[in-house]
């Protein structure tokens, strides 16, 4: 069991490296549509599209998690990404979870 939990922890660390941050997401685009769009570049593991509790709308940014670093490189091979007439702003950034931010300040 210890080996399995160690492998999961190692997997979490490595997957963190394959995230991209997407900003300027149109209000009308859903998480499903983002997954479908980015699937053309590789295997999308997850799309995290946070919502505002007060408005009920998403916050116009998301993180896309890919299976491999090659998938991320494939995204950056394309000059621009346009969904529903809006140009998406894409950056390669690891998604920082609360526990990671906390550990960095210690």
Each residue's pLDDT tens digit, 61-72: 999 999 999 999
Task: For residue 103, tell me if it sits in a domain.
Answer: no
Higher pLDDT among residues 58 and 103, named by residue = 58
Q: For position 18, what pLDDT does the model report?
A: 85
Task: For residue 11, tell me if it sits in a domain.
Answer: no
Contact between 47 and 35 (Cβ < 8 Å): yes
In 3D space, the residue among 68, 74, 62, 75 whose CA is nearest the CA of residue 14 turns out to be: 68
Tell me how far the alpha carbon of residue 77 is from its chain's centroid.
17
Rounded Cα gap, residues 68 and 84, in angstroms: 27
Each residue's pLDDT tens digit, 41-53: 999 999 999 999 9
Q: List the CATH number of the domain containing 85.
A: 3.30.70.330
- Report percent pLDDT > 90 for the chain: 69
Higher pLDDT among residues 35 and 92, named by residue = 35
């Amino acid at each position: 069991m210890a080996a399995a939990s160690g492998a999961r922890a190692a997997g979490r660390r490595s997957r963190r490296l394959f995230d991209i941050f997407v900003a300027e997401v149109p209000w009308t685009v859903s998480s499903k549509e983002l997954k479908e769009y980015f699937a053309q570049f590789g295997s999308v593991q997850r799309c995290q599209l946070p919502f505002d509790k007060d408005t009920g709308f998403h916050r116009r940014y998301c993180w896309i998690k890919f299976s491999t670093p090659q998938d991320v490189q494939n995204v950056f091979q394309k000059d621009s990404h346009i969904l529903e007439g809006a140009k998406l702003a894409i950056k390669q950034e690891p998604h920082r979870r609360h526990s990671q931010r906390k550990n960095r300040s210690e």
